[in-house]
Structure 1
Amino acid sequence: MADGSYLSDWDLEQRGLIAITLLSGVLALLVLVPYLQYVLFGLVLAYVLYPLQGRLENYLRPTIAAFVMVVATLLVVLIPLVYVVTIAVRQALGVVPAIREGQFDVGTVQEVLGTEDLPVDPVSLYESNQDRIATALQQVATGALDFVGSLPGLFIGLTVTLFVLFGLLRDGERVVAWTKWVVPVDDRILDELCAGLDDLMWASVVGNAAVAAVQAVLLGVGLLVAGVPAVIFLTVATFVLTLLPLVGAFGVWIPAAGYLVAVGRPTAGAAVAVYGLLITFSDTYLRPALIGHTDAFDSTIVVVGIFGGLIAFGAVGLFVGPVVLGGAKLTFDCFARAHSGEPAADGHLEGTVGAESEKRAVADANDGGSDE
């Protein structure tokens, strides 16, 4: 009787603990959701910068090293990024007053293109679609105004990003060890998941972003030399389009080459077209060089992950979306192997931290060990 009563009390206590844990998790999610994209942005930055943090800790204390990295990120990445995006938006909006003030002369374009004998009249085509063009431009202007209106929230969000970045840089190993400790999953499976997620993060964050940045800068320099206006806007657009599947840099250099031909500069237009082709084909060499030959990414996961991530997480979803879907696939694979009794994939266990070292890291974290 006593044993049965003891077991009943234990079961009751466990149910209460589970209820409190679930409630705490739900409340934590409610706190995180409003700034989830900024938390994820901080996580992505911490992943990219953590190797530099480790090198810097050879000369400085972890707290000081993390502070230096956050300040450097603010000065080198975030402030220039906000400045470039602001200029890009301003250049994009410059098209609206140009059309309204009559600076866009359709007749001149018709004369340059020599379309008087063509069955399609650009002037009548423009006039018949004037309402649609005005509506599209109005939507662009409204989006820009919404962006300006959200600047206070953007400032708060970037503050959250910096604090998340600082915490993960300083206590990253403790956070990983604590996560492995509290998740009720076998150590070998956790090691496999961590290794697989690391491959996904490297391919999505470092590889894709680096390829897009290199191609955007190269094309931006070429457009600047060719004398194409709104170069910063076009460079930012190239970066975004290069991240998107099935689009790439040709979504920018083809219209730019057509613009140069339309304004009477066919040689420059042809040069931009050839240069743009070289940049587009460079993707074949840049991506394997930066990411390596990996089967971590399936094309369907990439496409759905990028577009779905944009809707779910905002701009940071370009990088996080494929990782989320790829991580879900890895999790289901591990679940299926554990359910069927198959061993974990050996390729994901090389170089992982052993169980004993993880337990020691957790013990250090629970003891509140000093950073110094």
Structure 2
Amino acid sequence: MEKDLKDYITPPVMLILFLLAISLIFIFPVLNMIILGAILAYGIRPVALKIQSKLRFQSISILISMIVVLIPLILLIAYIVMVISGVLTDFFAANPNLDINYTMSQLSSYIPQNPFFDGNNIVPTIQSAGKYVLSYLVGKIGSIANITLDLFILICSVYYFVKDGENCINFVKSFIPDKHLDFFDRTVESVEDVLKSIFYGHFLTSVIIGIFGAIGYSLLGYPYGIFLGVITGILQLIPIFGPWPIYWALAIMDALNGNYPRVVVVLLFGFFLSLIDMYIRPAISSHHADIHPLILLIGFLSGPLVYGIVGFIIGPLILGITYAVLDSFRKELKEAE
């Protein structure tokens, strides 16, 4: 065994490992953008191929497909910002003499006192949280150059992974010994199944739940029904949340306003959203990879701690792909016995 190991540790191998380590150090600050670019490229590639079949120009087809996919996302973010800013503007216009400190002090008087939480400290706590959020935003604005660089790398990664992703897989495959090619092929198929499960089983479910929510809240007469549906769809992406924070908040507001019939209706509608989620998600995901919910939950919660907001996408995907690779390796070991 010692002889075999020495045979592998040759000067070319050591040079390659050294260069790979140095390269990883260079790309590590933008590794999250590269991974996210590869993920987005997987979803954009089918659109690009369909456009290319009509247009015949690969580069133009890729750029058009990127625009087609990214424009709805940009419009969605712009819509959320516009609605929130409009609500805040109307609120402060209707209450020009509003004293935030006095209001929060009044609210704190209704909070029960207990040894674990002091309602009198709610104002300084909120002020401290506000200062932290403001300083965070200022810091992000101050690092506009880094944000621009990340976006540029993301766009370039998406473009080149869509264009040369298959060549990249073939390049890696060329290093795999013949006896392990079946394992590599099964691993690639498992990774594709995980990506399909995430894209279709979770993102598509969120879109469907968001559409149902927007229609239902609008029919029930709530202002900003479409906005509430959008937020419901976004919360649906996070397993620990789902649609319940929205419909419970609406029910509480209706109860405070004395609109008890709508309290019952909105709660029934909310339970309906939760029930159809239990049906739609398995129905879509069952056609692809079967991933345990705990894996996705850990990915959603831990991903943002490592990669920031993009961790909501990268976290569950990396854990899901890791599970797929381990499962593929387990099957190979069973076949070898």
TM-score (norm 2): 0.78
Which letter maps to 2:196? W
Considering only CA atoms, is the larger Rg found in Structure 1 or Structure 2?
Answer: 1
Give the 3 Å change call, closer, same or farther, for CA 19–140 of structure 1 in structure 2.
same
Structure 1 CA distance, aligned partners of 2:287 and 2:193? 11
Deviation at 1:208, TM superposition (A): 0.7
Q: Does 2:35 align with 1:40?
A: yes
8 Å CA contact 2:239, 2:297 repeated in 1: yes
Give the 3 Å change call, closer, same or farther, for CA 298–123 of structure 1 in structure 2.
closer
Structure 2 residue matching 1:244: 3-state secondary structure: coil
Alignment of 1:153-164 (within 5 A): 153-164=146-157
Deviates further, 302-311 or 263-272 = 263-272
Aligned residues: 322
Structure 2 residue matching 1:58: 3-state secondary structure: helix
1:168 corresponding residue in structure 2: 161
1:315 corresponding residue in structure 2: 309
1:75 corresponding residue in structure 2: 71
Structure 2 CA distance, aligned partners of 1:301 and 1:268? 37
Structure 1 CA distance, aligned partners of 2:206 and 2:131? 29
8 Å CA contact 2:298, 2:316 repeated in 1: yes
Which letter maps to 1:239? G
Give the 3 Å change call, closer, same or farther, for CA 99–161 of structure 1 in structure 2.
farther
1:289 corresponding residue in structure 2: 283
2:299 corresponding residue in structure 1: 305
Deviation at 1:84, TM superposition (A): 3.7
8 Å CA contact 2:194, 2:288 repeated in 1: no
Which letter maps to 2:183? I
8 Å CA contact 2:238, 2:300 repeated in 1: yes
Structure 2 residue matching 1:129: 3-state secondary structure: helix
Give the 3 Å change call, closer, same or farther, for CA 275–339 of structure 1 in structure 2.
closer
For residues 265-314 of structure 1, give each alpha carbon's deviation from its aligned partner in whole angstroms, at most 9, with x where no partner exists.
33443332222222121102221333235562013322222222222233
Unaligned stretches of 5+ residues in structure 1: 1-9, 111-119, 344-372
Which of the residues 56, 61, 82 maps onto 1:65? 61
1:261 corresponding residue in structure 2: 255
Structure 1 CA distance, aligned partners of 2:236 and 2:311? 15
Structure 1 CA distance, aligned partners of 2:101 and 2:247? 21
Which of the residues 166, 169, 172 maps onto 1:179? 172
Alpha carbon RMSD of aligned pairs, Å?
Answer: 3.8
8 Å CA contact 1:205, 1:319 repeated in 2: no
- Identity across the alignment (%): 18
Which letter maps to 2:294? T
Alignment of 1:112-131 (within 5 A): 122=110, 127=120, 129-131=122-124
Which letter maps to 1:47? Y
Give the 3 Å change call, closer, same or farther, for CA 147–209 of structure 1 in structure 2.
farther
Unaligned stretches of 5+ residues in structure 2: 1-5, 114-118
Q: Does 2:326 align with 1:326?
A: no
Which letter maps to 1:300? L
Deviation at 1:191, TM superposition (A): 0.8
Deviation at 1:248, TM superposition (A): 0.9
TM-score (norm 1): 0.72
Structure 1 CA distance, aligned partners of 2:18 and 2:84? 42
8 Å CA contact 1:57, 1:65 repeated in 2: yes
Structure 1 CA distance, aligned partners of 2:28 and 2:313? 18
Structure 1 CA distance, aligned partners of 2:230 and 2:136? 17
For residues 225-261 of structure 1, give each alpha carbon's deviation from its aligned partner in whole angstroms, at most 9, with x where no partner exists.
53346964x5554334212223211022211221232
Structure 1 CA distance, aligned partners of 2:30 and 2:208? 29
Which letter maps to 2:302? G
Structure 1 CA distance, aligned partners of 2:226 and 2:29? 34
8 Å CA contact 1:311, 1:317 repeated in 2: yes
Structure 2 CA distance, aligned partners of 1:298 and 1:91? 41
Give the 3 Å change call, closer, same or farther, for CA 200–65 of structure 1 in structure 2.
same
Deviates further, 319-328 or 297-306 = 319-328
Which letter maps to 2:22? L
Give the 3 Å change call, closer, same or farther, for CA 334–219 of structure 1 in structure 2.
closer
Structure 1 CA distance, aligned partners of 2:63 and 2:147? 21
